[in-house]
Amino acid sequence: MVSIAAIFAVFSGTAHAEGEHMHDGFFLRLAPGVGAMSISEKVGANKYEYSGASSHLNFAIGGAVVENFIVHLDLSATGMSEPKLKVNGQSTTGATGDHATSVLGLGLTYYFPANFYLTGAVGTARTSVKVNGKTYDTDRGVGFNLMVGKEWWVSDNWGLGVAGQWLYSKCPDKPINGATPDVISSSLGVLFSATYN
């Protein structure tokens, strides 16, 4: 009886050890950060450009198909408050409100040796602008999320890290004078991640 218990303990410990510091099974990542953002739109002969400091957030949940290769739902959002405004390249003043872009799609993450990773995601996107208490949303468009990062294990399954992010979207605006201009959003950020895997 003692021998059976000892053998069970050995195999249990071995299985646990094999699952430590490995990118397999369930995957969850939460990564807030900061960066810079720009939004542009051409309406008729006029081009409007908004730019400023931005806050970032990435949330991913999924699982490993094979070790180190993960498929996940990927949600990224970024926003800026009272950005600078240029019209046809010239700075101008006035209320610019709050701008935000979100991208929800399918993502892939691959871990390289030394816990470096690359994430790519594509999905549906939307940009919104809130000015003087009113919110204006674009129609749904397409968006991309690209992240390059590095993590350090802090427990058997948790890792903390840092990543660079590029978030891009192109969304059709509401029709204006018979035309449908595109709203293009682009942001670069530095994110700090907590990942369970």
According to the model, what pLDDT value does residue 9 have? 40
Residues 62-76: what's their mean pLDDT?
97
Share of the chain residues as helix, strand and coil, in percent rounded to the nearest 5: 10, 70, 20
Residue 190 predicted with pLDDT over 70: yes
Q: Which CATH code for domain 23-196?
A: 2.40.160.20
Residue 189: name the closest of 85, 104, 77, 109 by CA: 77
Confidence of residue 18 (pLDDT cuts 50, 70, 90): low
Mean of per-residue pLDDT scores for the chain: 89
Using one digit for the tens of pLDDT, what is the confidence trace for 98-153? 999 999 999 999 999 999 999 999 999 999 988 777 888 999 999 999 999 999 99
Residue 22 predicted with pLDDT over 60: yes
Q: d(Cα 10, Cα 111) in Å, to the nearest integer?
A: 29
Residues 45-65: what's their mean pLDDT?
95
Residue 50 bridge partners (DSSP): 39, 85
